[in-house]
Structure 1
Amino acid sequence: MNPRIASAAAGAVLLLLGLTACAASPEAAPTPRPTASAAAPKPSAAPAATPTPQAPAAEPSCEAMISAGTVDALTNAGWTAEPKEFVIGDVTLTEGLLCFWADYAVASDHGQLYGWSQISPTDAADAQASLIAGGWMREDAPEGVYVTEDPQYSMGTDEDGYGMTYLFGDGWVKFADTKQGLILIEWTP
């Protein structure tokens, strides 16, 4: 007999013996069932433990601004973030940050933009007016005011046809290279 076949047969027999040893035997004692007089466990009055939320960083950073999954995906692709000054038209937002994620080891214009900043109502109005005067389009929504570039001039759009988009909320503004990209920005002060 071939030694490989004999070895395989012996292994199969050992496996079969191991599996049958684990099977319940017919003469095994039945599991005792609780009687009516057995005390039922009492529910605990203590509240269930909940995870403690992490406090946001004191200042926005490129890594803290977007979701951890997005940071992981970008860094695993070899991308790093380069912080930029956040400017909308003539309004410089000193309370925020604009981040350009890309692979800086190669010369390319391929990357992703994410931005977040606090913004006063006056600066928000000025920034929106500047964008709209430049051909951008305004869209009111329950979550705030979207201002997006005209898709015919966009270098790239999401599946809904939106290119670079700002979302103005109550005292803050978000920015991404597509409207769908805004959902990745999780920064809250």
Structure 2
Amino acid sequence: MTPRIASALSGILLGVVALTGCSVAAPEPDSASPAPRPSATTSAEPVTSPSPSPSASPALPTCDAMISEGTVEAFTDLGWTFEEKEFVIGDVTMSEGLLCFWADYSVASDHGQLYGWSEITPEDATRAQSSLLSQGWTREDGPEGIYITEDPQFSMGTDEAGYGMTYLFGDGWVKVADTREGLILIDWAG
């Protein structure tokens, strides 16, 4: 991909981020969304984490519902589609979550966007954070939760503040994007 095309795509994506950040309210979940995927976890111990919504049983995320509707529209207008991947941090598998890679898969390119969300137990959050920190990632505490960011010198790309791939650990959940700024595009609340 030429630098000019990469620059143009970056400009479009930054515009999407800017427009999405200016929205007044998050879109309501689509009631016609696909049925939840079955969970592969079995545990003898109950997992207690407060649900951010009052629903009785939250659905699992989908790639086209995890991020804002405007972002999905912008990606599809570019001809991008998504591939679902298993969400794994170190040796911790997030069976209640999903990792999504958005890109134009009709051409060979390393240009795309990454988003992921999952429920997580406090024990798994501690293990995942420890694994990342042992690999040289950095930790920052914020009002939203704990940010764990890759060392920018090894990053495929960074946002305007210099952050590359970043995980945000909240109360019972974790999300990831290819930049810290990209985390704002993840609407999923579980």
For the criterion TM > 0.5, the same-fold answer is yes
Other structure's SS at 1:96 match: strand
Q: Does 1:78 align with 2:82?
A: no
Q: What does the per-residue CA deviation read over 1:26-61, in whole Å, with 9 as the maximum and x for residues that have no partner?
A: xxxxxxxxxxxxxxxxxxxxxxxxxxx546752210
TM-score between both structures, scaled by the size of structure 1 = 0.71
TM-score between both structures, scaled by the size of structure 2 = 0.70
Which 4+ stretches in 1 moved above 6 angstroms? Answer: none
Aligned to 1:165: 166
Q: Decide whether the 8 Å contact of 2:67 with 2:188 is kept in 1.
A: yes
Aligned residue pairs total 138
Distance 2:88 2:178 in 1: 15
Other structure's SS at 1:74 match: helix
Other structure's SS at 1:86 match: strand
Aligned to 1:147: 148
Distance 2:122 2:139 in 1: 16
Aligned to 2:64: 63
Structure with the greater relative contact order (CA < 8 A, sep ≥ 6): 1 or 2? 2
Q: Decide whether the 8 Å contact of 2:145 with 2:168 is kept in 1.
A: yes
Q: Do the aligned partners of residues 100 and 54 (structure 1) sit closer, same or farther apart at CA in structure 2, a change above 3 Å counting?
A: closer
Distance 1:140 1:148 in 2: 11
Within-5 A mapping of 1:76-115 = 76-115=77-116
CA RMSD of aligned residues (A): 1.4
- Aligned sequence identity (%): 72
Aligned to 2:19: none
Distance 1:74 1:186 in 2: 16
Distance 2:169 2:135 in 1: 17
Aligned to 2:125: 124
> How far does residue 158 in structure 1 lie from its aligned partner after superposition?
0.1
Distance 2:135 2:29 in 1: 40
Q: Do the aligned partners of residues 131 and 77 (structure 1) sit closer, same or farther apart at CA in structure 2, a change above 3 Å counting?
A: same
> How far does residue 168 in structure 1 lie from its aligned partner after superposition?
0.1
Within-5 A mapping of 1:13-28 = none
Instruction: Please tell me the residue identity of whatever aligns with 2:118.
Output: S
Distance 1:145 1:181 in 2: 15
For structure 2, the 5+ residue unaligned runs are 1-27, 34-58
Other structure's SS at 1:75 match: helix
Q: Which has the larger radius of gyration?
A: 1
For structure 1, the 5+ residue unaligned runs are 1-52
